[in-house]
């Protein structure tokens, strides 16, 4: 009797990343590490094939071994590559470039060093672990449109993932938009948004306190805190900030 096919178990963060990949597309997971996202996308039938790349041979070997264990190593192309520079995304037909689980500044550097990510129709799925402000500022300046931002909660933390596409339009963004994301309240569940706003308000209040003690201007932090409170009020949360 044939056993039931078991998909790799993804946490909420990886499930969010996978949910932003287009059905039928060819994702390239840059910095794949364990390879679970491309394995999941191929095994679940969302994508016919995928690319898994990493700058380090250890993680890439682990991804290859995991793909073999799940029986999908023949549908995933493995590349030892710094960002997209040592792979051939056009030849591989890559439609969705995933750069996830890294700091926002490293993600921006990887994007900046690739021409392919500027190809019309190619989508970027980004999931920064830090420096979201810097990443959004880079994307706005470099002509990438953030089409969607989504949050999830995993292990008590809130994670943000974004979908972007290059259109060459440089965008002016306010400090609050760069810090919080644009249209932050539109799609989020009450639970995620409330937690995100409450934690952001606490962080800003601490920053304001520290800066005041050091005699440093706090107008930027206060402006963002006011926006956090306004979003909370508009959503009917009584406990933000
Ligand atoms: C923390 S893991 C994230 C794994 C996975 N993307 C995730 O979201 O769970 C970061 C991975 O990125 C790889 N990495 C770091 N810099 C890279 C670069 N410039 N190009 C490709 N991979 C890189 C590391 O070797 C590591 O395996």
Q: State the pLDDT at residue 4.
A: 63
Whether 6 shows a pLDDT value over 70: the answer reads yes
Query: pLDDT at position 3, please?
Result: 59
pLDDT score of 187 more than 80: no
Residue 228 has pLDDT above 60, yes or no: yes
Q: What's residue 1's pLDDT? A: 45
Q: What is the pLDDT of residue 2?
A: 53
Work out the average pLDDT over 176-198.
88
Percentage with pLDDT > 70 across the chain: 98
In this predicted structure, the answer to whether residue 184 has a pLDDT above a threshold of 90 is no
Print burial letters for 21-42: b (CB count within 10 Å at least 16), e (below 16): beeebbbbbbbbbbbbbbbbbb
Distance from residue 155's CA to the centre of ligand 1 (Å): 20
pLDDT of amino acid 143: 98
Atom of ligand 1 at shortest distance to CA of 110?
19
Per residue in 25-52, pLDDT tens? 999 999 999 999 999 999 999 999 999 9
Contacts of 109 by beta carbon, 8 Å cutoff, 6+ apart: 83
CA of 101 to the centre of ligand 1 (A): 7
User: What average pLDDT does the structure give for the chain?
Assistant: 95
From CA 186, how far away is CA 13, in angstroms rounded?
A: 20
Q: Are 62 and 34 in contact (CB under 8 A)?
A: yes
Listed residue (184, 102, 196) closest to 156, CA to CA: 196
- pTM across the whole model: 0.95
Q: Tens digits of per-residue pLDDT, 79-132?
A: 999 999 999 999 999 999 999 999 999 999 999 999 999 999 999 999 999 999
Fold topology of 12-172: Rossmann fold (3.40.50)
Give the closest residue (by CA) to ligand 1 atom 14. 31
Helix (H) or strand (E) holding 78: strand 76-80
DSSP assignment letter at 162: E
Domain ranges in the chain? 12-172, 174-241
Atom of ligand 1 nearest to the CA of 82: 20
Ligand 1 pocket, 102 CB below 6 A? Answer: yes
Cα(54) to centroid(ligand 1), Å: 6
Query: Tokens representing 97?
Result: 């470039």
Q: Which of 28, 31, 35, 152 to mutate to test the pocket of ligand 1 (most atoms within 8 A of CB)?
A: 31
Mean pLDDT, rounded, for 137-146: 98
Instruction: Please report the pLDDT score of residue 65 as a whole number.
Output: 97
């Amino acid at each position: 009797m044939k056993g039931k096919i078991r998909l790799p178990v993804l946490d909420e963060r990886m499930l969010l990343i996978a949910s932003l990949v287009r059905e039928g597309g060819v994702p390239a997971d840059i910095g794949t590490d364990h390879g679970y996202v491309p394995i999941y996308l191929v095994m679940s039938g969302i994508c016919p094939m995928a690319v898994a790349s990493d700058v380090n041979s250890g993680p890439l070997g682990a991804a290859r071994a995991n793909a073999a264990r799940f029986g999908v190593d023949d549908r995933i192309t493995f590349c030892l590559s710094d960002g997209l520079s040592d792979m051939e995304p056009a030849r591989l037909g890559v439609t969705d470039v995933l750069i996830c689980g890294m700091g926002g500044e490293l993600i921006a550097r990887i994007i900046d060093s690739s021409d392919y990510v500027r190809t019309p129709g190619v989508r970027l799925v980004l999931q920064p672990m830090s420096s979201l402000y810097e990443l959004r500022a880079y994307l706005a300046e470099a002509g990438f449109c953030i089409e969607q931002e989504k949050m999830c909660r995993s292990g008590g933390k809130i994670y943000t993932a974004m979908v972007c596409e290059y259109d060459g339009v440089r965008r002016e963004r306010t400090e609050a938009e760069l810090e919080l994301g644009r249209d932050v309240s539109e799609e989020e569940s009450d639970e995620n948004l409330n937690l995100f706003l409450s934690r952001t308000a606490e962080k800003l209040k601490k920053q304001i306190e520290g800066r005041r003690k050091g005699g440093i201007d706090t107008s930027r932090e206060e402006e963002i805190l006011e926006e956090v409170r306004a979003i909370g009020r508009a959503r009917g949360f009584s406990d933000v900030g």
